[in-house]
Every structure is written in structure tokens, then in C-alpha cells.
Amino acid sequence: MSPGLPLHDATPPSSSREKNFGLSSTEFDRLVALLKDGNESLFEQVYLAQFDYCQRKLINFDGLTERQAYDATMNAMLHFRQLLLTDKVAYGNLRYLFVRIARQRLVRQEGKQAKVRPLMAMDDKIPTLEGSFHTEEQLQLMERAFRQLGGACRQLLKQVYFQHKSLKSIAEEEDQSYVNLRKQKSRCVRQLRQRCEIANSNR
Amino acid sequence: MKKLPILNTPPGSDEEDRVVADFVQKLFESDLRQRYATKLAATHGVELPPEDVTTASIPNIDIRPRLLSQRFYLTVAAGVALLIAAFFLFTGGEDEFDSLLAQNLAVESYYLPFTRGESPAAGSRLEAKLLLDYGAGHFDRVVARQGATLTPVGRFYLSLALIVKGRMDEARVQLANIPAEDKLRAEADWFSLMLELQDGATPRELEKLRAYGPEDIAYYRRAQQLLAALPDTAGE
């Protein structure tokens, strides 16, 4: 065991670390815990260091242009972040998964025109978090409606939907009642909807 | 353009929740994307490569006669806005207060009539342009003049443009800087109050709403509507 590893860490030092961005399973758990707590620094540090590796892989093995590879890697990093927050990724072979997700995201984005090789059956096992379809213009209109909400509403919706915090944990952190917070969230969504209705009719 | 996805879902449904979740994720992801790109360039030397040029990159050009289409859309939009306003006024419901508040802050087509002598165009070229931009819906251009020296009229329309862009805190600052003796002060106070009510109706804001009497002809009716529509929990 290398001197830097904690005693309770059962991860073999060489191959597993290599496959997992140099992280032991304990360090990985810490990264996830920090991320869930709203501290993104370790996640950024680790994943940004892998960015170039993933990008090169897509250029050299899949024949993507630099720009395509950059965008695909960026999308993969953002998607990976969501998967980690929602406990959909476990310690194992994170580096491989990162590249596979980048390929998968590109295929989804560009459909049949994507310049990647046919994907292996294993890609079906990569977890996804697909949402509803928004065009760029729709996003801009909704963004305007969202920015018109009060600061408290924007913060609450961000915590719930972006940081994936439960209402219960937010209530505990902010010393509020769960029931009030739930009502507040409904009111915020209602306000967003109303502003969207107005934006839609003013178009 | 199709209806916004949230409007295709039943209010309070799981579907609505999913659409909001998807939107909020996309919105904040775009901020993150920017941050990652900056850090990548600064710490790892990975720059954003130039865009690939393909036929798909060439934008479609709208060849419809612009004025005609604008008039048509403006007429339709005005009609729909009136219908929605009428709906909100006569149907009531627990979310009436929020609807009224949203209507009071829907300032895209806000216009104050001016007499000949006090036309903002008489102020300076910059102000005249600012007002023209506002009227044409070029709110980004109006907001871009934020650093310039402006008269209260310019400042007022700048703050409205900031409201349209959702930059409420900056709008508050601009509204607060309209001098007390200026004719627009009352209007600025009204919008400041609407912005404060966005964050919750505390006793202080309710007091301000109640202070509008029948003599405040421009605001009294609107204030009364808001007070009548207050949720039960207001002022707590």
C-alpha cells in the first residue's frame, strides 16, 4: 500500500487508480460527497485534468474534428456531474465511462450523421438523464421568465433541480419547515409558469 | 415557434416538474460550461477550437417582408395579452396575486406619453436612441448603455429594460437613483414596490400598497387588485 492511502482503503493502488482518474474509491466517495454539498472544486480539478485525454481519444480513434471532440467532452463532463449527483455512477472504470459517455452524447446529439463508429452493446448500460426538448429560442424565453422570479425562488429551484438536493435536506439546512418549503417550491413553479405564459403570448 | 414545453403540461403534474427540472439543469449547465471553458484555457491550455463550417452552420434567412410580419405579430400579441389579462382579472384563484404581479412587471411594451416640451428625444441623441431601441424591443442595446450619463427618463427606461432582461437587482439600483423631485419618481416607486413584492409580501410592502389612495389615480386600482388577491399567508 502506498504511504498516502488511508488504512481503511481497500483499493489496489495501481490499476484501479489508473482506471479511475488516479482516485481511490475513498477519494472518489469524497469527491461525490463534496459535489453533493455544493463544493465543485475537486470534481473540476479531477475532470478538467482528464479533458485533454478524452478529447484526444475522440480525435484519434473516432475521427472527430477538434471542435466536435471538445464539445462532446464538455457535454460528457456536464453529464457525468449529473450522474454523480444522482448516484448513477459507481467507482469502477471512470476513465472508460467518461469516453463512452462522450461518444454516446455525440451520437444522441447528431443522430445518424455522427462520425463515430457503431457503438457497442455496452452503451445501453450507460445511465442517462434525458429531459424534455427545448429549442434555443424556447430556452431564452424561459430563461427570461426565470430571471424575473424573486431571488429566493431562483435559489430554491436551483438547489432542487440543479444540485439535486431534497426539500427535506434544504429545510434542515435553512431551519425551515418542510411543509412551508414544499409550498414555496410549488409557488415558485407556478410563478415561472405564469411568466412563461406571458412571454409566450408576447411573442 | 411552438408553445413553451411547460405550457403543454398540466399545472402541478409530474410532467411539469420534469420540464422545469430539465430547464433549470440546462440553464445552470450553460453557466458551468462557461466556467469549465475558462478554467480549461487558463490551467490546462485547452482552448475552444473554432467552429466547424458546414452547410448546417449557415443560418436560414427570413425573406418575409419585415414590417408586415411585425405588424401582424404585434396585433396578435396584443390580442392574446388582452385575453390573458381579462382571464386573470375575472377568474381569480389562489395564484391571482402572482399573476397580477407578473402582469405589472411585464414591461416589454411599456410606454409613457410625453408632452411636446418634455419629449425625451429633446434631451440628447443618446437618450433618443435609447428610447427608440426600447420601443423596438432591442433591450440588450438599452442595457448596454448602463454606464452612460442619463437623464431620469433614460434611467427609467434603462431600468425597465433591466426588468425585461431579468436583472432585477440592477433595475432596483437604477430606479432608486431617479431623483425624488422628478416626475417619474412615482412611477419608479411603483416598479420598485413590484420588485420588492417579488421576494414576498412583508408588512412593509403591504403598508406601501395600502398607502395608495383614490387620489393616486394611476396606481390605486392596481394596488387594490393586488391587495384583494393577496394569499392568506401574506405579511407573515
Neighbouring residues of B40: CB distance < 8 A, sequence distance ≥ 6:
A48, A51, B46, B47
Q: Is residue B60 part of a domain?
A: no
* Residue A181 contacts B where some CB pair is shorter than 8 Å: no
Nearest CB partner across the interface for B95, out of A145, A194, A202: A194
Q: Nearest-CA distance from B108 to chain A in Å?
A: 8
User: Which residue has 455525440 as its cell numbers?
Assistant: A106
Q: Answer yes or no: do B105 and B171 share one domain.
A: yes
Here the ipTM equals 0.73
Report percent pLDDT > 90 for chain A: 14
Residue B214 is predicted with a pLDDT of: 82
Report percent pLDDT > 90 for chain B: 7
Residue A185 is predicted with a pLDDT of: 93
Average pLDDT over residues B190-217: 85
> Which of the four pLDDT bands, split at 50, 70 and 90, describes residue B159?
very high
Residue B57 is predicted with a pLDDT of: 45
Q: Answer yes or no: do B138 and B34 share one domain.
A: no
Cα distances (Å, whole numbers) of residue B205 to A147, A157, A178, B8, B235? 21, 24, 26, 34, 8
CB B142 within 8 A of CB B133: yes
Q: Is residue B81 part of a domain?
A: no
Q: Is residue B43 part of a domain?
A: yes
Q: Which of A107-121, B23-37, B121-135, B136-150 has the lowest mean pLDDT?
A: A107-121
Q: Is residue B86 part of a domain?
A: no
Give me the total of CB pairs closer than 8 Å, taking one residue from chain A and one from chain B: 163
User: Which residue has 429633446 as its cell numbers?
Assistant: B122
DSSP code of residue A161: I
CB A102 within 8 A of CB A76: yes
Nearest CA in chain B to A161: B21
CB-CB under 8 Å, A132 with B1: no
**CATH 3.80.30.20 matches A136-202:** no
Residue A133 is predicted with a pLDDT of: 56
Q: Is residue B138 part of a domain?
A: yes
Pick the residue of A86, A136, A155, A200 with the most B CBs within 10 A to test the interface with B by mutation.
A200
Q: Nearest-CA distance from B165 to chain A in Å?
A: 6
Does residue A134 sit in helix, strand or coil?
A: coil
Average pLDDT over residues B139-147: 85
Q: Answer yes or no: do B215 and B136 share one domain.
A: yes
Give the range with max mean pLDDT: A106-110, A135-139, A146-150, B134-138.
A146-150
**Number of structural domains chain B divides into:** 2
Residue A188 is predicted with a pLDDT of: 93
> Which of the four pLDDT bands, split at 50, 70 and 90, describes residue B60?
very low
Nearest CB partner across the interface for A158, out of B28, B33, B165: B28
Average pLDDT over residues B145-172: 86
Q: Answer yes or no: do B134 and B36 share one domain.
A: no
Mean pLDDT of chain B: 76
Task: Say how far apart CA B17 and CA B44 lie, in whole Å.
Answer: 38
Q: Answer yes or no: do B108 and B209 share one domain.
A: yes
Task: Say how far apart CA A2 and CA B28 lie, in whole Å.
Answer: 39
pLDDT tens-digit series, residues A120-130: 434 445 554 44
Does residue B224 sit in helix, strand or coil?
A: helix
Q: Which domain holds residue B180?
A: 100-113+120-228
Average pLDDT over residues B129-135: 81
Q: Answer yes or no: do B20 and B108 share one domain.
A: no
Q: Answer yes or no: do B224 and B107 share one domain.
A: yes
CB-CB under 8 Å, B24 with A131: no
Task: Say how far apart CA B123 and CA A77 lie, in whole Å.
Answer: 52
* pTM more than 0.80: no
**Helical (H) or strand (E) element with B193:** helix B185-198
